[in-house]
Structure 1
Amino acid sequence: MKLTVAVFILAFLATSAAAADTYRFGSQVISTGDSEGRLRQVAGKPDRETPIETRRGGLEGYRLEYYRRGKSVQIEVVNGRVAKITQIDS
């Protein structure tokens, strides 16, 4: 019983940590929920910008891609806010 509770608690903590995406640009940090303006102020101009479409073909947001030290950082901006941060090791 104790093992089951411990596994449940660890799974909950792992889920909570994954929900708060962050990425450091120099000495400043971008987090999910930050505005697009803050992102562009801190990170600068993206190396690549791709529109994200809705199922009906409308514009939902943008995927901004930054290349930093052999890594690709993809940041999805939806409704003017950072929605998701993904780091891809090259």
Structure 2
Amino acid sequence: MKRIIVGLLLAALAVPAFASDTWRVNSQVVSTGDSEGRLRQVAGKPDRETPMETSRGGLQGYRLEYFKDGKSVQVEVVNGRVTAITQLDS
């Protein structure tokens, strides 16, 4: 019985490790880990582009915002790769 409980607990903890943020744009999908070039190819030019700074004031990356279908989608790009996708209802 303990083995089953431990197994279920480990399986439940492992699930978030495989989850990634995705965003469907028309018939294509942008995922974390995609390049900035792929993001711009699929989603087009962002409506707003904001630089993100490190704690020391250097450039860390960019937050690109898209406004589509009544939603605001924020995509963070660091070192040329998509690191986070956040969808907000307007």
TM over 0.5: yes
Q: Which segments of 5 or more consecutive residues in structure 1 lack a partner in the other structure?
A: none
Structure with max Cα Rg: 2
Q: Given the two structures, how large is their TM-score scaled by the length of structure 1?
A: 0.85
AA paired with 1:63? Answer: R
Partner residue, 2:8: 6
AA paired with 1:3? Answer: I
Q: Given the two structures, how large is their TM-score scaled by the length of structure 2?
A: 0.85
Q: Give the paired residue count.
A: 88
Cα deviation per residue 1:2-46 (whole Å; 9 max; x = unaligned)? 2232122122113321xx221111111111121111111110111
RMSD (CA atoms): 1.4
Q: Superposed, which structure 2 residues align to 1:1-90 within 5 Å?
A: 1=2, 2-17=4-19, 20-90=20-90
Q: Between the two proteins, what is the percent identity of the paired residues?
A: 65
Q: Which segments of 5 or more consecutive residues in structure 2 lack a partner in the other structure?
A: none
Distance 1:86 1:3 in 2: 34
Distance 1:21 1:45 in 2: 20
Distance 1:41 1:75 in 2: 14
SS of residue in 2 equivalent to 1:11: helix
